[in-house]
Chain A
Amino acid sequence: MEFLKKNPKIFQWLFLLIVFFALCFAIEVPETYKFIRGQAEFIKDPNQSTFVFAGKEVRYYAFDVFWRLPPLLGWLPIWINDSLFFLMNDWMPMEFWNEDTQEFKTRPLLLQISRNLTGFMTFIIELIREILLGGLETIVAFTSWDFIDANPWAELPGLPWTIVAAGATILSYKLSGKGLAIFAGLTMVYISIFGQWKPSMQTLSFILVAAPLSFIFGLGLGISAFKSKRVEKALYPILLVMQTMPQYAVLVPALVLFGVGDHAAVIITMIVAIPPMILLTLLGLRAIPPEVIEAGRMSGCNNWQLMLKVLIPTARRDILIGVNQVIMVCFSMAVISAFIGAKGLGFNLLLALNQLNIGLALEAGLCISLIAILLDKMSLAWANKQTDYFGNLSFFERNKNTIFFIGAFVIGIILAYIGTFLFKGTFNYLFEIPHNKGISTADFWNKGVDWIFDTFFVYIKAFNTWLIQEVLQPMRALYLRMPAVATIVLVVGAGYLIGGIRSALVVCGLTLFIALSPWWDRALVTTYMATFGVIISCLIGFTVGTLCFQSKGAAKFMLGVCDIFQTFPSFVYLIPVMMLFGITDTSVLIAVIVYATIPATRYTIEGLRSVPVGLHEAATMSGVNKFQRLTKIEFPLAFPHMMLGLNQTIVFALFMVIIGAFIGTEDLGQYILKALSDKNGAGIGLTLGICVAFIGLIFDNLIRTWVGKRKKHLGIA
């Protein structure tokens, strides 16, 4: 009792938990409740209750309101859907001039805007794609098909792969030096030899459009948010939700707005990639010491000069992390947007996964990852580049890279020309190695997978069964037992204890939204998978991070590994786990764990590193041993930062759980995936996405509030 009196917080937490469990036990599971598989709730059932709101009829199974709240927000997806259709098809019809038919045509404004936007996107993507691969579309865009028929020569020839490879190598050399140049060269040669050239260039053209556009818009919006409080206030909630919104969920409404294809994929990618860019730009600009800004002003900068020459370069570090994020998201989306018809490696990867051809999937995945790492490193090197004013260089020295490229260009063309004689009747391997005609290791991998399966089948199966029956099923059952009211009490109580009334109200709102949506039990399943992943990830991440922290070299190495792993598109993680565990929940969970361990490890190392050296010395002089130093000094001080890591771990885990729907889960993600192929799916997809985002935001709010308070308490804010 003495102890409790001294620590009233612990008493309050205990009380909260007791209330929560009491409620869980007091509210019985209704006998009629079944965890419905699939889309059973779309079937009309006389036992269902209905209500009408804003003209939309919502059907649902009614339970004791303490157990499951009625889906009072059930009209929202339908309403979103109808509004979208209305906006696209009926809102503000206007006369537009149609080039093809040479007459005015009536079209809704939004549809016309969308068509123009997508037309523009398509044009840029096609332009880059045809420079790399050759084609007709660009010339058609300026002339017409008739012109092409009349002039058979009018075709962009495309660059031989040798020239692109040489170009990438020389550019890498110019930006960073030998190391990156070798990496770039090997990557390009690998891609070509393994016959992934065409899909790789398709993906690349997609990224070369999406990444710069996201960067520019993100930077611009970040700057305007920095300059105007009003813009910031307007953007902030959107940014927050987008940070935790699964990328799948954005696909569905975009499908309605922009149709199917690469152009839609680019727009979606921008929507997903811009928010982190804005946030990091804002963060970087905020961190600039006011005196630097004043120094710029006193140097006589006008607003533009101040922004371009002082603010942005000074905030470079954070803006670069933003660029890094943009590239990551772009590659991640390059795969995911294959669902809405983007061509390239992502499409091949999905196809291969669908056919359970692990070897092919692995090859495509490796290509994406290699290109992702290459672009990431190149963008970093570009931003860190310096000019030397005092080098007295000859013309050749100054222009040697250009000269080399021109040389490589000529040689490449000559080679390709020779190739036309060399490979008469077959494919010109010096121009482009076609898909499936390169070396393929797919068979090797597939056989490997088969071998692993044959050899270890018993063990894998046993482990799998044990995990599912003994751990996962009971855990899931426990989560599903959680009555809505009890959960709300728990979350709101935690919010109140951590951040006071304000925090409590915010998390209450977020939880209520999920509880009043038709998918409370799905949300519980999502939460269960995410929690399981997060717990294991944190255990691994904190342990590995702490161990690596003991040696400087190991810590640096580990951070490098985290960097590289983070660059992999999230879908790639599914490949090896499917190799081992096939299509089960275990696969998803292992992918979740691997993916979510990255931030857990990174933040642990960074947090421990941030403990001031002075404290180390003070501790050593007080005569603590290594272990005591770790537990008494470093952990308490690094803990807030590590909790931010937990926050990231949760977001990563949620993302992967949702992507795991591709393998087959029973949670919100599965519904999002289904919404993709549903004509009326836009509203459902978006609402589901918001639900997932809100799960993330509940944790985000609680953790951030706690970290803020703790940091203030420790004086390291």
Chain B
Amino acid sequence: MSDAVIKCESVYKIFGENAEKMLQEANGNVDAKTFQENGCIVGVNNASFEVAKGEMLVVMGLSGSGKSTLLRCISRLTDATGGKIFIEGQDLLELNNKELIDLRRNKMGMVFQSFALLPHKTVVENIAFPLQIKGINTDDSISKAMDMVKLVGLDGRENYFPRELSGGQQQRVGIARSLAVEPDIWFLDEPFSALDPLIRKEMQDEFLRLQDKLQKTIMFITHDFDEALKLADRIAIMKDGIIEQLDTPAKIVLNPATEYVRKFTEEVPREKVLLIEDVMDQSTSDNLGDLKVSKDEIIENVAEKILTQEKTVGVIDSNNKIIGSINPTKIINTVFGGRKNGN
């Protein structure tokens, strides 16, 4: 467990004047309503989780669910009211100002929903900004920033001002800036929410490409469930400051923990999310057809092949060993069945 890069232990964030006192009195049993009656607003309520190295945790929730607040607690843009946060084993809340700045300068990068570029600096100056803040001289920081410009595909526009760029381009600058110091931990606060659907998809693909290459530890905030499914290793779904469920996309779709989560999963095209592994039968019979499918395939990609089979299809792992089976009926049930108003 010690290899968790980010570790939260019952983190609370409560806004209001007597927040700390009220939290102590509540004794770990925080009720949003009673707090609100006393003039306090509960932002994050008892959040505990870990993010492993190279893992992408997507925090999903509607506006006001506390997801951004949670992120800001972990980046210590706001101080959590209670609980413990560890970054690579270091207690974040114990850090003094200098240590915190050091941590941010070397280990953390953050991308913002509204891009948050500095309006008076050009693209390359914006990207070089964290480097210059760190004390790197102008020539080195600019040349490093130019590498980042190329990485996000903005070459030729390095001397533009943010106001001269489209939303997608601005966010590329934001991403480049957050990556300039080569951080280990990458925070993204609804980075694509302000973009058009087409651009958003393009940026998501680009983002996956980057992550494939860089393998950062990521906390990604979004209000878009589809985006979460597409990107996440694990998803945390938040409501009213509480993490309702934290699991892999497949498990959330298959086994929504609460009614709230189930509402999100209803409209999700399962064949696009679930892997064969998620729906196969553990038992293997001898009566298997010739077709074998890998357990890591997404259902959508192999559904057609499986449905044309008469017999049950074998599922193999990466060593070509049969570990389970799946029959066509199961596929049909997964795709069409099991929904509340299954029309």
Chain A interface residues toward B at CB < 8 A: 289, 291-292, 294-302, 305, 309-310, 313-314, 316, 386, 388-390
> CA separation between A386 and B119, bound complex, in Å?
12
In angstroms, how far is the closest chain A Cβ from the Cβ of B109?
7
> CA separation between A301 and B72, bound complex, in Å?
16
Are A297 and B77 closer than 8 Å at their CB atoms?
Answer: yes
Give residues of chain B (79-114) contacting chain A, Cβ–Cβ below 8 Å.
Answer: 97-98, 101-102, 104-106, 108-110, 112-114
Can you name 14 A-B residue pairings with CB atoms under 8 Å? A289-B114, A289-B116, A292-B117, A296-B118, A297-B77, A298-B108, A298-B178, A299-B104, A299-B133, A300-B102, A300-B104, A313-B120, A389-B138, A390-B159
Are A292 and B104 closer than 8 Å at their CB atoms?
Answer: no
> CA separation between A301 and B125, bound complex, in Å?
15
Could you tell me the dominant secondary structure of chain A's interface residues?
helix
A300's contact among B72, B101, B119, B187, by CB below 8 Å, is which?
Answer: B101
Please count how many residues in chain B sit with their CB below 8 Å of the partner chain's CB atoms. Answer: 38
Mask for B186-201, Cβ within 8 A of A = 1, else 0? 0100000000000000
Asked whether any CB of chain A lies closer than 8 Å to the CB of B45, the reply is no
The 9 closest A-B pairs by CB, nearest first: A300-B105, A295-B116, A299-B130, A291-B116, A298-B110, A300-B104, A313-B120, A291-B112, A292-B116
> CA separation between A292 and B102, bound complex, in Å?
19
Asked whether any CB of chain A lies closer than 8 Å to the CB of B177, the reply is yes
In angstroms, how far is the closest chain A Cβ from the Cβ of B79?
13
B133's contact among A289, A305, A390, by CB below 8 Å, is which?
Answer: A305
Are A316 and B120 closer than 8 Å at their CB atoms?
Answer: yes
Are A295 and B101 closer than 8 Å at their CB atoms?
Answer: no
In angstroms, how far is the closest chain B Cβ from the Cβ of A304?
11
> CA separation between A302 and B177, bound complex, in Å?
18
> CA separation between A316 and B102, bound complex, in Å?
28
| Chain A residue contacts of B75, Cβ below 8 A | 298
Are B118 and A310 closer than 8 Å at their CB atoms?
Answer: yes
Are B118 and A314 closer than 8 Å at their CB atoms?
Answer: yes
In angstroms, how far is the closest chain A Cβ from the Cβ of B167?
14
> CA separation between A123 and B18, bound complex, in Å?
54
Are B119 and A314 closer than 8 Å at their CB atoms?
Answer: yes
Are B116 and A389 closer than 8 Å at their CB atoms?
Answer: no
| Chain A residue contacts of B174, Cβ below 8 A | 295
> CA separation between A208 and B115, bound complex, in Å?
39
> CA separation between A314 and B117, bound complex, in Å?
10
Chain B interface residues toward A at CB < 8 A: 72, 75, 77, 97-98, 101-102, 104-106, 108-110, 112-122, 124-125, 129-130, 133-134, 138, 142, 159, 174, 177-178, 181, 187
Are B112 and A295 closer than 8 Å at their CB atoms?
Answer: yes
| Chain B residue contacts of A390, Cβ below 8 A | 159
In angstroms, how far is the closest chain A Cβ from the Cβ of B108?
6
In angstroms, how far is the closest chain A Cβ from the Cβ of B172?
15
> CA separation between A279 and B107, bound complex, in Å?
38
| Chain B residue contacts of A313, Cβ below 8 A | 118-121
CB-CB nearest in chain A for B178: A298
CB-CB nearest in chain B for A300: B105
> CA separation between A31 and B115, bound complex, in Å?
73
| Chain B residue contacts of A294, Cβ below 8 A | 72, 77, 110, 112, 116
B101's contact among A289, A291, A302, A386, by CB below 8 Å, is which?
Answer: A302
> CA separation between A291 and B63, bound complex, in Å?
16
| Chain A residue contacts of B108, Cβ below 8 A | 298
Are B118 and A292 closer than 8 Å at their CB atoms?
Answer: yes
> CA separation between A294 and B71, bound complex, in Å?
12
> CA separation between A75 and B72, bound complex, in Å?
57
In angstroms, how far is the closest chain B Cβ from the Cβ of A43?
60
| Chain A residue contacts of B101, Cβ below 8 A | 300-302
> CA separation between A618 and B229, bound complex, in Å?
40
Known: A291-B113, A294-B112, A390-B159. A299 touches B120 (CB 8 A): no
> CA separation between A223 and B122, bound complex, in Å?
25
> CA separation between A225 and B134, bound complex, in Å?
28
Are B77 and A299 closer than 8 Å at their CB atoms?
Answer: no
| Chain B residue contacts of A298, Cβ below 8 A | 75, 77, 104, 108-110, 178, 187
Interface centre among B104, B125, B133, B159 (most CB of A within 10 A): B133
Are A291 and B114 closer than 8 Å at their CB atoms?
Answer: yes
> CA separation between A386 and B113, bound complex, in Å?
27
Interface centre among A292, A300, A309, A316 (most CB of B within 10 A): A300
A295's contact among B97, B98, B110, by CB below 8 Å, is which?
Answer: B110
In angstroms, how far is the closest chain A Cβ from the Cβ of B80?
16
| Chain A residue contacts of B102, Cβ below 8 A | 300
Are A309 and B133 closer than 8 Å at their CB atoms?
Answer: yes
| Chain B residue contacts of A389, Cβ below 8 A | 124-125, 138, 142
In angstroms, how far is the closest chain B Cβ from the Cβ of A700?
31
